[in-house]
Amino acid sequence: MPASQDLMGLGMNAILAQLVGQDPQAVTAAGTTQATARAASGDVIEMTATGSDGIILPTGPICQPFFVINSSASTGLVYTPVGSTLNGLASTTGLSLTTKSRAILFQYKPNFWFSILTA
């Protein structure tokens, strides 16, 4: 999906382009546990981290992909909503997203998530 700036460059109205385009939500990771992690609200998230801090994903519909990009020079953690499992582990574990890496996360049934790490 193109970014809203790309759509406006093709002549689309700015308001419509912002509704349709996929612009990453910039989130600065915080906290060192699921309870203190910074909440994210979008489905395309650019995370900056400073070490063992993290973000927590919103609850979304089944099979909605969440794309998380760690653009920082430090590893960050990605947590699923409270009460969920991620890759068969408790959501309090968090997915370690290393420097300059990306992940796609899905909720495949209520409270059950899996992740795909990209190269």
pLDDT digits (tens, 9 = 90+) for 36-70: 999 998 888 999 999 889 999 998 899 999 999 99
> Which two three-digit tokens encode residue 45?
């998230």
Q: 13 in a domain, yes or no?
A: no
Predicted structure pTM score: 0.82
DSSP E strand stretches across the chain:
25-28, 38-39, 44-48, 54-56, 66-70, 76-79, 85-86, 89-90, 95-97, 102-109, 112-118
Number of domains comprising the chain: 1
**Which pLDDT value is given to residue 1?**
61
What is the rounded distance in angstroms from the CA atom of residue 21 to the CA atom of residue 95?
27
Average per-residue pLDDT for the chain: 89
- The pLDDT value given to residue 113: 96
CATH number for the domain spanning 86: value is: 2.60.120
- Residue 77 belongs to domain spanning: 24-118
**Single-letter amino acid, residue 103:** A
| Domain-located, residue 64 | yes
The mean pLDDT value for 26-30 works out to: 92
What is the spatial distance between Cα 56 and Cα 9, in angstroms, rounded to a whole number? 33
Given a cut of 90, is residue 101 above it in pLDDT? yes
The strand pairing partners of 105, in sequence order, are 66, 115
